[in-house]
Amino acid sequence: MPSQHDDCLFCSIVREGTYVRKEKGFVAINDINPQAPVHVLVIPERHVDSFREIGEFPAREAKRMLEFVADTAREVGLTDYRVQVNVGPSAGQTIFHLHWHILGEGPKRDDLPAHAETAVVEL
């Protein structure tokens, strides 16, 4: 396994968390405090403190990480979404292990199964 930090929350989650999705080197989890109807975090196993250290990833692994972000968004049903990386405390970073936020509104209404339709109430 690539570099890990004993006292890092996301290193622990990578080791023993429950995932939305997992692939060699990466996991996706639901954010504990979602800021959108769908809010997933993609976390690489390799510990780097922030996006500033992206150069520590071998090129192939960095490419796979981006593909994992795109594949995860698709698999959770998103076609349109935002990808966000907070870099440094004043930009909102609170966990110092690189991670990618995927934020979206959820599957389009037309894509939902019939039983998931919301009842229309006439006023």
Residue 88 binds to ligand 5GP (criterion: CB under 6 A): no
- DSSP secondary structure string for all residues of 71-104: HHHHHTT-SS-EEE---SGGGT--S-S--EEEEE
Out of 5, 36, 83, 106, point to the residue binding Zn ion (CB under 5 A): 5
Structure tokens at 85: 């990386």
| 119 contact choice in Zn ion, ligand 5GP, none (CB below 5 to 8 Å, kind-dependent) | none
Sheet arrangement for strand 26-30: 21-23, 26-30, 38-44, 100-104, 82-84
Q: Which residues pair with 84 in a beta bridge?
A: 101
Rounded to the nearest whole angstrom, what is the least distance from the CB of residue 32 to ligand 5GP in the complex? Answer: 4
| Smaller CB separation from Zn ion, 49 or 106 | 49
User: Is 47 an annotated catalytic residue?
Assistant: no
Out of 47, 64, 99, 101, point to the residue binding Zn ion (CB under 5 A): 47
Site for Zn ion, residues 59 to 98, rule: CB under 5 A? 97
| 29 contact choice in ligand 5GP, Zn ion, none (CB below 5 to 8 Å, kind-dependent) | ligand 5GP
CA atoms within 13 A on the CB side of 56: 14
Q: Quick count: other Cβ atoms within 10 Å of Cβ 84?
A: 14
Which residue among the candidates 47, 97, 99, 101 is catalytic per the annotation? 99
